[in-house]
Amino acid sequence: MLPTDLPADIRQRAARIRLAVFDVDGVLTDGRLVYGADGHERKAFHVHDGLGFRRLLANGIEVAVITARLSRIVTERMAELGVAHVYQDQRDKRACLRQLIAALALQPEQVAYTGDDLPDLAPMREVGLAIAVANAHPWLRERAHWRTRHAGGDGAAREVCDLLLAAQGKVESELAVFLG
């Protein structure tokens, strides 16, 4: 369900979305980079975000991740969730986003982008719904159309997924999936 204090323009923007794009570190994770004694990177993803991605995909909303880092763990997690659009090692996130929008034959207003830090500013300016996670850098929060209540890595992506589904009138059909 949509928050009762959600402005009408955010509802309208969310109702048009056909592609939800997310940064990884700081959005799907808490932003900490953890390395084990073996030198391998560790990441923790919130299970609620994963179900949110699956529900978007089941409802015809494409999901993508664009990240500046390269991580085997991200590849594995996105494959597990069925996310086909995974772009890693992207130094120019805006150029990557533009190519993706063109490849999917979408208009920028049909795209949402969720970020947390300065490298996300440029792609956020390209889309119809720019979202900052609750603990995003202040400059990003000031420029976002909407801010999550949850921090990155703590269910913020799920909050975005739920917003999109609710704005598109999918709450009852989603509940029916899980009520049997």
- Domain containing residue 118: CATH number: 3.40.50.1000
Average pLDDT (22-26) is: 97
Containing domain of residue 115, as a range?
8-179
For residue 2, being part of any structural domain is answered with no
What pLDDT does residue 98 have?
A: 98
CA gap 44, 68 in Å, rounded: 17
Give the global pTM.
0.95
Break the chain down into helix, strand, coil percent, rounded to 5: 45, 15, 40
What pLDDT does residue 37 have?
A: 86
For residue 39, being part of any structural domain is answered with yes
Q: Between residues 40 and 25, which one has the greater pLDDT? A: 25
What pLDDT does residue 4 have?
A: 62
pLDDT at 27 over 70: yes
Average pLDDT (141-155) is: 97
Element (H, E) at 131: strand 129-132
For residue 65, being part of any structural domain is answered with yes
For residue 1, being part of any structural domain is answered with no
For residue 69, being part of any structural domain is answered with yes
Average pLDDT (135-163) is: 97
- Is residue 129 within 8 Å of residue 145, measured between CB atoms? yes
Query: 160 to each of 73, 103, 113, 114, 172, how far by Cα in Å?
Result: 22, 23, 10, 8, 17
Average pLDDT (94-116) is: 98
CA gap 120, 26 in Å, rounded: 11
For residue 3, being part of any structural domain is answered with no
Mean pLDDT of the chain: 94
pLDDT at 22 over 80: yes
Interval 48-79: pLDDT, tens: 999 999 999 999 999 999 999 999 999 999 99
Q: Which residues, at least 6 apart from 149, have a Cβ–Cβ distance to it below 8 Å? A: 134, 159
For residue 53, being part of any structural domain is answered with yes
